[in-house]
Copies of this chain bind each other. A is one copy, B any other.
Amino acid sequence: MPTLAEERGPGRPRCQDTRQSILRAAYELFDEGEDQPFTIEAVARRSGAAKTTIYRWWPTKGALATEAFLTIAEKRSAFPETGSAIAGLRIQLKALARLFRGRTGRLVAGIIAEAQSDPEARKAFIEGYLKPRRATAARIIQRGMAGGELRPGLDVETVCDALYGPLYLRLMVRDNPGDDAAVDRLVDTVLEGIKAPASRR
């Protein structure tokens, strides 16, 4: 139905607005933390939409949380676009680790798990979340190279993998996504490299 409405012409049809305000309310509730129960009831209260309307579009609160996360999280990512590139990477990685430590982390882990057997879920996660975030990370790395903070000629994808891979590994496989100190150790290690200075050319 929202697709039909969108095709109807210019302007924002009313049901599209309702959809957006439900997603926004869901995302906010979800994002406010563990002490805020995430229920369809609570989303209805905050968005002003009827529970029946919400259930018509999302059969479960998991489906609602997933779509809210994939459509809204990116727009609110805490990625500073100015200043030191290295400081910016540190801030962004710490924000992501903090996100991963809470229920958003469990949501993301669930989406990635789902993505192993569901190509649609995989595509939604890659297109809706991963790619836009990586594009922003790539810009900050490029800015760091241009500004002389980072080594010129770095392979940007590889740098992203080395910085973000550990957070996903820790989220999915290890016991926890790491605290601020773990992120600092990671950034320092990748910044300075692991080769002994004596053996550098």
Q: Which residues of A contact B (CB under 8 A)?
A: 86, 109-110, 112-117, 125-126, 130, 141, 148-152, 154-155, 158-159, 161-162, 164-170, 172-174, 182, 185-186, 189-200
Contacts and interface: CB of A to CB of B under 8 A. Distances in A.
Contact of A182 (B125, B158, B196): B158
A20 to B, nearest CB: 27
A158 B188 CA distance: 10
B112 A195 contact: no
Secondary structure type dominating chain A contacts: helix
Given A172-B168, A173-B168, A195 B149 contact: yes
Contact of A191 (B109, B164, B195): B195
Q: Please tell me how many copies of the chain the complex holds.
A: 2
Contact of A192 (B148, B151, B152): B151
**Which one of A109, A115, A182, A190 has the highest number of Cβ atoms from chain B below 10 Å of its Cβ?**
A190
Nearest to A198: B148
A69 to B, nearest CB: 15
Contacts of A182: 158
B169 A165 contact: yes
B189 A155 contact: yes
Nearest to A109: B116
A124 to B, nearest CB: 12
Contacts of A86: 195
Given A109-B116, A161-B166, 20 more contacts: A86-B195, A110-B116, A113-B113, A113-B117, A126-B173, A130-B173, A141-B194, A148-B198, A148-B199, A149-B196, A155-B185, A158-B189, A159-B189, A162-B189, A168-B169, A190-B190, A192-B193, A192-B200, A193-B193, A193-B194
